Structure 1
Amino acid sequence: MSNKLMQAKRLHGSRRRKTFGSSYLPDAVGFFKRLQRVLPNRSFAWLAIVPLAVLIVGAWGLAASAQEEAAALTPEDVQAVLDNIWILVASILVIFMNAGFGMLETGFCRQKNAVNILSKNLLVFALATLAFWAVGFSLMFGAAGGGFLGFGGWFLSSTDPATYGLDGGTLTISVFFLFQAAFAGTAATIVSGAVAERIKFIDFVIFSIVLTAIVYPISGHWVWGGGMLSEIGFLGGAGFSDFAGSTVVHSAGGWAALMGAAILGPRIGKYQDGQPSALPGHNMSIATLGCLILWIGWFGFNPGSQLAADSAVPYIAVTTNLAAAAGGVAATVTSWTLSGKPDLSMIINGILAGLVAITAGCAGASFLGAVVIGLIGGVLVVFSVYFFDSIQIDDPVGAVSVHLVNGIWGTLAVGLFDMENGLFYGAGPTQLLAQIMGILTVGLWVVVCSTIVWSILKATLSLRVTPEEELMGLDIGEHGMEAYSGFIKESSSMPSSTSAGVGS
């Protein structure tokens, strides 16, 4: 082969490598240069617009498709979507309240029991969810039952909304269950604070399961039974009104807490020579943060009970906030007057008292009425704490005073301050009488059931830890661990101060 032929082949191979090699950018540039020579002048500029044109056409098609789908939705469909999204958000807010309860209770109690309290508050929602899913939801909302007991759709097995009384509304079964399960968990968490620092972990677990699976759902059915149609329950049908649960949730949990605290007896060192001694909480910063979390969570608790995304939701949020603020101010002034100092623990419980008190009537009270309800609640909680101490009911966090006393007050307040049916608005005593009947009925049911369960647990599992475990702390005795490992422990289990505090 001649030298000229070999040089020609090498040149040809070099050009092939430049054209079809691994570098795509020179290939693309060369392609467009050749295309520009072939096409008329300025054709290359038009060619560059082709991808943009394809993108515009595609986007136009997608927009047209979306517009057709939106046109196919009726206003009722849009409202149903909004309702379910709002109740989902409200459910998350109520579930988040478990963090508030845990921090509040832990801060108000001593550091040697912190792990035990945190464990109870974390586990109780898990227990409540499963117990309510298996049994409680059907007992509370099963439409196959009557006015006294719900029935049907166990284990959330039915896909028919009518099974749970939801055929008259927009909510799906799933979101309605989640919202109600959060309420059931709240009722059980109330009990935790009143029996803190001396109850066995297993006894509390068993009681929580019974409360959320049977006791709470049955009394709840009497008021809210039938899902969207609360008049199916015999109390609801008789005119009893409890919009978001001052009695159904808070008083029920409060009655159970009161009986538990009474049967357990006071903590060691709480009462000396017949006089109460303070057992100060170890972290008021955490307790204060817990209060604020609960305050925020209540905007899911009360407005969410509207069970719809409508104009009533912001109104309910405002009445809720006004009552909480008024309760905190009233408790501050009251405790300051009685003890000479503005007690932080009373400020916290005053805010919670206002929230509990407005829960029953948040949708029907005026703004001024909400403030008055909260003010009275804030005063009541301070005197209630002192009263229960005087009869030696040891409640470390003031749960009975906040939830039971103000749950009763808030339920009565509906009969007084409701703008349609309240006595103060010229409607007569009918609503007030219905409220009294509901309070007594639910209270009797929960007291009897709780007393039976607590007594059985005391007779079989002894209910209370040993004195040695109580003095050492339940973190070590019940869990074998410390919340603040490596930090200096308190030098004595006995109080170092005699100032009044929550539950003291």
Structure 2
Amino acid sequence: MENINSAVETLIQSSNTLFILLGAIMVLAMHAGFAFLEVGTVRQKNQVNALVKIIADFGFSAIAYFFFGYWVAYDTTFFASAEQLSANNGYELVKFFFLMTFAAAIPAIVSGGIAERARFYPMLVASFFIVGLVYPFFEGVIWNSNYGFQDWLTATFGAPFHDFAGSVVVHAVGGWIALVAVIMLGLRHGRYRGGRLVAFAPSNIPFLALGAWILTIGWFGFNVMSAQTIDGISGLVAVNSLMAMVGGIVASLFVGKNDPGFIHNGPLAGLVAVCAGSDLMHPIGALITGAIAGALFVWLFTYIQNKLHLDDVLGVWPLHGVCGAWGGIAAGIFGSSAFGGLGGVSLASQVVGTIAGIIVALVGAFIVYGVIKQTVGLRLTAEEEYNGADLSIHQIGSTSED
């Protein structure tokens, strides 16, 4: 009997390790989606830079999260023997891998907002500190109950802040960090003439669409495998993710008036918004959440470009920052039993937790980007921007004709 119990325990541990490893690989693949979404959106003279930024940011993020970020969030380090680290089939290591791909999404989100005019190495340094300190601080507060914030919310409002897969912890934080960087960098040259918007058309719609599809597919690893163990897997999370994605598609199709850029970002808006409550909502609630996010993205992206003169190239603040915040609040609405959800969530806690995430993102970004701007600078010169980041930074174009 003891041998049977041991074998069963080993099988469970192995299954959990494989489960979360597959999730990590799916989220890792999403970074290709970030890359191609940006490549298809920026002008041709900045395509190489978009590709290099995403993979270089990932490398810096992995180092920052391994040595500092995971420690800040979960009070766990990897300064132990390989024998100790490989306990339980190395589950803790693979958990780190999974959560590191989440952390690395923050610079990938920022990259889309600052495209075409940001300096390369200063932004890599910024990514290092954001992934090593700013992001994991809030991650630990929410997902590891650090500093008593969740306990306070529970005592005050009856439930902790609920964010199953990171609408706020990952997406809203990344989007609001990006907003600070976009504002500090300023407008791309030639973006407005006589106070009127000059359209910089996407360079490659098929690449843009490919990026959106890669992200959409990987998102089911992002959401479903946030359970982190195989016994926690839920078909409800999968179907809610699907319905939110569909809601985003349909809403962006009509509100965006058939624009392919809006239509391919619509499902992403829906998926951003459903992350927080995907394990609680009824599928109809997820559909509504995604549809509101899709419409919100189209309207707000248009508004900030035309009215606020905010040069957010891929619209990462509306897509991740605002739709992520909406997702945090939507979990408190459609996750409640009154709207067909599983319950156990407080709307007040969701609002307060969402605001807390925004504040951490804004303060952290202001410090990191502010220091770098005042010391070495964030922006390419006018000549470098005119020539394009590909030639100015990497000395090669995306095609042989460049």
TM-score interval (norm. to shorter): over 0.9
Percent identity reads 34
Q: Is residue 157 from structure 1 mapped to residue 71 from structure 2 by the alignment? A: no
Give deviations 1:87-113, integer Å, cap 9, x for gaps.
000000000111000000010000101
* Residue pairs, 1:318-337, within 5 angstroms: 318-336=239-257
2:198 corresponding residue in structure 1: 277
The match for 1:400 among 317, 326, 333 is: 317
What secondary structure sits across from 1:485 in the alignment? coil
Give deviations 1:58-110, integer Å, cap 9, x for gaps.
xxxxxxxxxx9984645443222211111000000000111000000010000
What secondary structure sits across from 1:279 in the alignment? coil
Q: Is residue 208 from structure 1 mapped to residue 127 from structure 2 by the alignment? A: yes
Q: Answer 1 or 2: which has greater helix percent.
A: 2
1:147 corresponding residue in structure 2: none
> Which structure has more RCO (C-alpha within 8 Å, separation ≥ 6)?
2
Please report how far the alpha carbon of residue 319 of structure 1 lies from its aligned counterpart in structure 2 after TM superposition: 1.0
Q: 1:111 to 1:309 in 2, by over 3 A?
A: same
Q: Is the 8 A contact 2:281 2:342 kept in 1?
A: no
Q: 1:69 to 1:104 in 2, by over 3 A?
A: farther
1:256 corresponding residue in structure 2: 177
Q: Is residue 199 from structure 1 mapped to residue 121 from structure 2 by the alignment? A: no
What secondary structure sits across from 1:374 in the alignment? helix
Q: After the TM superposition, which segments of 4 or more aligned residues of structure 1 sit over 4 Å from their partners?
A: 158-163, 425-430
2:210 corresponding residue in structure 1: 289
Report the TM-score when normalising by structure 1: 0.74
Q: Is residue 235 from structure 1 mapped to residue 178 from structure 2 by the alignment? A: no
Report the TM-score when normalising by structure 2: 0.92
Q: Is the 8 A contact 2:336 2:344 kept in 1?
A: no
The match for 2:367 among 452, 460, 471 is: 452
Please report how far the alpha carbon of residue 314 of structure 1 lies from its aligned counterpart in structure 2 after TM superposition: 2.7
Give deviations 1:24-76, integer Å, cap 9, x for gaps.
xxxxxxxxxxxxxxxxxxxxxxxxxxxxxxxxxxxxxxxxxxxx998464544
Distance (whole Å) between structure 1 residues aligned to residue 210 and residue 378 of structure 2: 31
Distance (whole Å) between structure 2 residues aligned to residue 393 and residue 161 of structure 1: 51
What secondary structure sits across from 1:364 in the alignment? coil
Q: Is residue 84 from structure 1 mapped to residue 17 from structure 2 by the alignment? A: yes
* Residue pairs, 1:28-427, within 5 angstroms: 71=4, 73-142=6-75, 153-154=76-77, 156-158=78-80, 172-225=91-144, 231-232=145-146, 234-237=148-151, 238=153, 239-310=160-231, 312-336=233-257, 342-389=258-305, 390-420=307-337, 424=339
Please report how far the alpha carbon of residue 360 of structure 1 lies from its aligned counterpart in structure 2 after TM superposition: 0.5
Give deviations 1:358-394, integer Å, cap 9, x for gaps.
0101111111111111111111001110221111110
Q: Is the 8 A contact 1:365 1:419 kept in 2?
A: yes
Q: Is the 8 A contact 2:335 2:341 kept in 1?
A: no
Q: Structure 2, unaligned stretches of length 5 or more?
A: 154-159
Q: Is the 8 A contact 2:280 2:341 kept in 1?
A: no
Q: What letter is aligned with 1:234? A: G
Distance (whole Å) between structure 2 residues aligned to residue 356 and residue 311 of structure 1: 21
Greater C-alpha Rg: 1
Q: 1:111 to 1:429 in 2, by over 3 A?
A: same
Q: Is the 8 A contact 1:255 1:446 kept in 2?
A: yes
Please report how far the alpha carbon of residue 171 of structure 1 lies from its aligned counterpart in structure 2 after TM superposition: 7.6
Q: 1:320 to 1:466 in 2, by over 3 A?
A: same
Please report how far the alpha carbon of residue 313 of structure 1 lies from its aligned counterpart in structure 2 after TM superposition: 3.1
Q: Structure 1, unaligned stretches of length 5 or more?
A: 1-67, 143-152, 226-230, 337-341, 490-504
Q: Is the 8 A contact 1:312 1:363 kept in 2?
A: no
Distance (whole Å) between structure 2 residues aligned to residue 430 and residue 161 of structure 1: 40
